[in-house]
Chain A
Amino acid sequence: MTSFSGKKLTCIRGERVVFNDLDFSINEGEVLYLKGPNGSGKSTLLRLMAGLLRPVNGTLTWNNKNIYQDEGLFRSLTHYVGHQDAVKTALTVEENLRFWAEMNSDIKEKSTVQKALQEFSLDSFSTLPARFLSAGQRKRLNLARLCTTWAPLWLLDEPSNSLDSDSVNVLTAAISTHQKKGGIVAIATHENLDVHSNSLDISMFTNFKIKSRDYDGW
């Protein structure tokens, strides 16, 4: 049974404790919602899960193995969708998607990329340079990456931002399909996606106290 978990995670960003002693665990076929107000550390936790940030303390494990033992392997199991859309405006929609599909696996088949474009209804402008896309379309292009190659762990940071309701439904469907295939999803969002899920309130771990002596002499 595949599982992804973190124990006693502490993260410090520039002298500020973002969260402390945070535990989470996600099993095969589960979706974890990260809840919390703006600035509570949802994005930070996702970047930590992806391996872009290192925790000051605590461990992240994939199938009970520390992810830092074989980072290359862990990265090949992960799809990360961040705030930024990672779209090269000078390339066409299809070139953008094809590049990441080929980076992430050996696939040469045109069909996988085409299918992903269709799924997120981007196929009608596949030859258009990406600079002509709207914010929502760029987001969809970034999300289409999820469907080109299989990776069991999806880390999604505000994936429904600037999406219209139809696209949100497509995203929800993609997440449900991923769940059924035994994938794991961690998602930070303010929208209520219609997906069966657990949730984790980060703000529970952020009510740290600033020691008064830090401010002595001010």
Chain B
Amino acid sequence: MAGKSIQVFFKLIQREILLAIRHGSDSCMIVLFFVIVVVLFPLSVGPEPGILTRISAGIIWVSALLSVMLSMDRLFQSDYEDGNLDLLILASEPLELIVLAKTVAHWLTTGFPLIIISPVLALFLNMDTSGYSTLLIALTLGTPTLSLVGAIGAALILGARRSGVLLSLLVLPLFIPILIFGVSAVDASLTNLSSKPQLLILGGLFLAGLVLCPWASAAALRQAAE
């Protein structure tokens, strides 16, 4: 039975990634949105390297947050509209596992590309090279948590009107802890302090999210299917 569950888990991830590849423009748009938001900052606060260096970590994190949030609403929406959600709920595997598989696939198709592109943007914002590795580690620990928490919001908004705005109101406040520790981890290593405590907290948030979020999302999905 456990073998079957694992098989279903990977089967679902495989299908979600295949769907993301077939709808390739969706993931590309999220990455482009990320790039454009970052580009807006030098244009608005001025190109002075000192200021950009100071705020580079914050800009990248806020932009990553917005990009993940923007991609969130398609996580369950299409399944809800075409009837796949009913069948996923009725699958013999626990819905929590199915939600987790979908969240993993979501991270692989949105969070992961953001991490890949972020060093280029850090360079663009004149971030000191000592912050790069911490930025990458912090994003690697933080973006999966964003996907996990966002999945709860994505499940709650099913069937609601103006769902995009509602989603941001629900989810952005919950992203704040990740933002705080993500930015302060990079700031710590830029000032030659240890970024370990912040990274450990990010790791802890990720583990807590991994355990708790799929349950909350699954409950919200069952509610939506009623």
On A, residues with C-beta under 8 Å from B are 50-54, 72-73, 75-76, 78, 80, 82-91, 95, 99-100, 102-104, 106
Please state if A86 and B11 are interface contacts (CB–CB under 8 Å).
no
Please state if A75 and B91 are interface contacts (CB–CB under 8 Å).
yes
Once the chains are docked, how many angstroms separate the CA of A196 from the CA of B89? 31
> In the complex, which residues of chain A have a beta carbon less than 8 angstroms from the beta carbon of B19?
88, 90-91
B225 to chain A, nearest CB (A): 5
Please state if B82 and A87 are interface contacts (CB–CB under 8 Å).
yes
SS class, residues of chain B in contact with chain A: helix
- From known contacts A102-B11, A104-B91, infer whether A52 and B86 are also in contact, taking CB-CB under 8 Å: yes
- From known contacts A52-B89, A99-B11, A103-B91, infer whether A90 and B23 are also in contact, taking CB-CB under 8 Å: yes
Once the chains are docked, how many angstroms separate the CA of A84 from the CA of B79? 10
On B, residues with C-beta under 8 Å from A are 4, 7-8, 11-12, 15, 18-19, 22-23, 81-84, 86-87, 89-94, 225-226
> In the complex, which residues of chain A have a beta carbon less than 8 angstroms from the beta carbon of B94?
72
Once the chains are docked, how many angstroms separate the CA of A72 from the CA of B87? 13
Q: A83-B83, A102-B11, A103-B12 known; 14 other A-B pairs, CB under 8 Å? A: A50-B90, A52-B86, A53-B226, A72-B94, A75-B90, A80-B87, A82-B83, A88-B82, A88-B84, A89-B82, A90-B23, A91-B15, A99-B11, A104-B92
* One of B7, B8, B15, B83 near A86 (C-beta < 8 A): B83
Once the chains are docked, how many angstroms separate the CA of A91 from the CA of B16? 10
Please state if A80 and B22 are interface contacts (CB–CB under 8 Å).
no
Please state if B83 and A52 are interface contacts (CB–CB under 8 Å).
no
Please state if B92 and A80 are interface contacts (CB–CB under 8 Å).
no
> In the complex, which residues of chain B have a beta carbon less than 8 angstroms from the beta carbon of A53?
226
Please state if A100 and B87 are interface contacts (CB–CB under 8 Å).
yes
Please state if B82 and A52 are interface contacts (CB–CB under 8 Å).
no
Once the chains are docked, how many angstroms separate the CA of A95 from the CA of B91? 17
Of the listed residues B7, B86, B87, the one surrounded by the most CB atoms of chain A closer than 10 A to its CB is B87
Please state if B82 and A86 are interface contacts (CB–CB under 8 Å).
yes
Q: Nearest 4 pairs between A and B by C-beta?
A: A84-B83, A76-B92, A90-B22, A86-B83
Pull 9 A–B residue pairs with CB atoms less than 8 Å apart, ordered by A.
A50-B86, A75-B90, A76-B92, A78-B90, A85-B82, A88-B84, A99-B11, A99-B15, A103-B91
Please state if B84 and A86 are interface contacts (CB–CB under 8 Å).
yes
- From known contacts A87-B82, A100-B87, infer whether A72 and B22 are also in contact, taking CB-CB under 8 Å: no
Question: A74's closest neighbor in chain B, by CB?
Answer: B92
Question: A129's closest neighbor in chain B, by CB?
Answer: B22
> In the complex, which residues of chain A have a beta carbon less than 8 angstroms from the beta carbon of B7?
102, 106
* One of A54, A86, A106 near B86 (C-beta < 8 A): A86
* One of B4, B12, B90 near A51 (C-beta < 8 A): B90
Question: A83's closest neighbor in chain B, by CB?
Answer: B83
Please state if A103 and B11 are interface contacts (CB–CB under 8 Å).
yes
Once the chains are docked, how many angstroms separate the CA of A127 from the CA of B178? 44
Once the chains are docked, how many angstroms separate the CA of A80 from the CA of B92? 12
Please state if B8 and A103 are interface contacts (CB–CB under 8 Å).
yes
> In the complex, which residues of chain A have a beta carbon less than 8 angstroms from the beta carbon of B89?
52
Please state if A80 and B82 are interface contacts (CB–CB under 8 Å).
no
Question: B21's closest neighbor in chain A, by CB?
Answer: A90
* One of A52, A91, A106 near B226 (C-beta < 8 A): A52
A149 to chain B, nearest CB (A): 11
> In the complex, which residues of chain A have a beta carbon less than 8 angstroms from the beta carbon of B11?
99, 102-103
Once the chains are docked, how many angstroms separate the CA of A87 from the CA of B93? 20
A20 to chain B, nearest CB (A): 18
> In the complex, which residues of chain B have a beta carbon less than 8 angstroms from the beta carbon of A52?
86, 89-90, 225-226
- From known contacts A102-B11, A104-B91, infer whether A80 and B86 are also in contact, taking CB-CB under 8 Å: yes
> In the complex, which residues of chain A have a beta carbon less than 8 angstroms from the beta carbon of B4?
106
A142 to chain B, nearest CB (A): 8
Of the listed residues A53, A72, A90, A103, the one surrounded by the most CB atoms of chain B closer than 10 A to its CB is A103
> In the complex, which residues of chain B have a beta carbon less than 8 angstroms from the beta carbon of A51?
90
